[in-house]
A and B are shown apart, each in its own frame.
Chain A
Amino acid sequence: MIYLKLFLAFLEIGAVSFGGGYAMIPLIREKVLLNGWLSEAELMNMIAVSESTPGPIAVNIATFIGAGQGGLVGAFVATLGVVLPSFVIILVIANLVKNFLKVKGFSAFLSGIRPCIVGLIISTAILMFINNALGLEGLKGTISPDISAIIILVILLIASKAYKLIIKKDISPILLIVLSAVCGIILYGRI
């Protein structure tokens, strides 16, 4: 039963995540929290690992969550679920709707989706910040800010701005992950 649940959840995610990797995170977060598969912190760990290993982030996260819930078979059905919509849609477009890019109605549909996806991604980051760094769970809850988390956030912001200023390129996510790991050990381990 968990296999079917995993498959259907990731099939749904694969079918509506326009814009690839990061666009998928709000959808995955919703499914995972709703089903009680992972806590917010566990999900964030998995996102970090998926970001620092090669390959499409969507496939990495699907495999990771699937493996955690249902072992090898779980990993397989979750990955299959997230890949299948892409695979089928592209085959249909390539073989049947050759002038797909010229279909006016569809590009209008997409023009509505694009700002929505951006809103989804940014609100996910804001919610993660509120839950994780401010320690606020709901409107009635009390705030218990995690000072170390806020310090790390400021360090990351300064580091990436400085990198861009000096090297003139965007800092790689892996470098930021390593930096935040070091900060985490120092600040949370009280070295």
Chain B
Amino acid sequence: MKKKLELFLIFFKIGLFTFGGGYAMVALLEAEFVSKRNWLTREEFLDMVAIAESTPGPIAINAATYIGNKMYGFLGALFATLGVCLPSFSIIYIISLFFDRFLENDYVSYAFKGIQVCVIYLIFSAGIKLLKGLTKNVMNITVFLAVTVLLVILSLASVRVSTIVLILICGFLGLMVYLIKKSLKKEA
């Protein structure tokens, strides 16, 4: 129990001190679990990051569940995930209680009008960063352009497209391309 509590506290600390989400957290996790405590080897850690990145959901939660489970099974996963979520949850809940009143102040609402522009900028540059990291091949570029153009035009025309359906279609497209390539190789 004491060990699980320690795990909870480490993840609580990580949840409390990482700004900027996922990737900032990966560096902190590495420092805590590989360099400082030797609870995971570097190879295990890299495997964990690869799995966290290729499964849906926040990377921090994926990592906490994986490391917790590896150390102490289901309860470990539960403690670690709870630890990493609790600071976020408490801080945001407290902010939500007075946020609307806070916005009633004129200067605060002007500040937030400026901040809304910043959010557009942040989302756009996050997208550009991911775009730069994408391998430049025919499929990636076609899917990227098709999704972007389609969504912008359809949204402006007030035609609703389900994002989830779109994601799944692209996933199956990837699978089909792989299967077709594989069968072509067999024939050749």
Contacts and interface: CB of A to CB of B under 8 A. Distances in A.
A172 B20 contact: yes
Nearest to B61: A86
Nearest to B60: A56
Contacts of B1: none
A145 to B, nearest CB: 12
B22 A54 contact: no
A139 B157 contact: yes
A44 B115 CA distance: 8
A49 B99 contact: yes
Contacts of A139: 156-157
B110 A118 contact: no
Interface in A148-169: 148-149, 152-153, 156-157, 160
Contacts of A179: 118
A101 B164 CA distance: 23
Interface stretch (B2-10, B29-37, B174-182): B174-182
Given A45-B115, A115-B139, A63 B163 contact: no
A53 B172 CA distance: 36
A181 B141 contact: no
Contacts of A111: 139, 174, 177-178
A32 interface: no
Nearest to A101: B50
Contacts of B66: 90, 94
Contacts of A36: none
A184 B116 CA distance: 9
Contact of B140 (A63, A115, A153): A115
A86 to B, nearest CB: 3
A90 B47 contact: no
Contacts of A110: 54, 171, 174
Contacts of A101: 47, 50-51, 54
Contact of A57 (B21, B99, B120): B21
A88 to B, nearest CB: 9
B41 interface: no
A138 B123 CA distance: 21
Given A18-B167, A149-B116, 9 more contacts: A34-B160, A59-B88, A76-B89, A86-B65, A107-B54, A112-B170, A113-B167, A181-B115, A184-B115
13 contacts: A18-B167, A51-B20, A53-B95, A56-B60, A87-B61, A106-B54, A110-B54, A112-B177, A136-B156, A139-B157, A174-B19, A181-B111, A181-B115
Interface of B: 15-22, 25, 47, 50-62, 65-66, 69-70, 74, 77, 81, 84-85, 87-89, 91-93, 95-97, 99, 103, 106-107, 110-128, 130-131, 134, 139-141, 143-148, 151-152, 155-158, 160, 162-164, 166-168, 170-175, 177-179
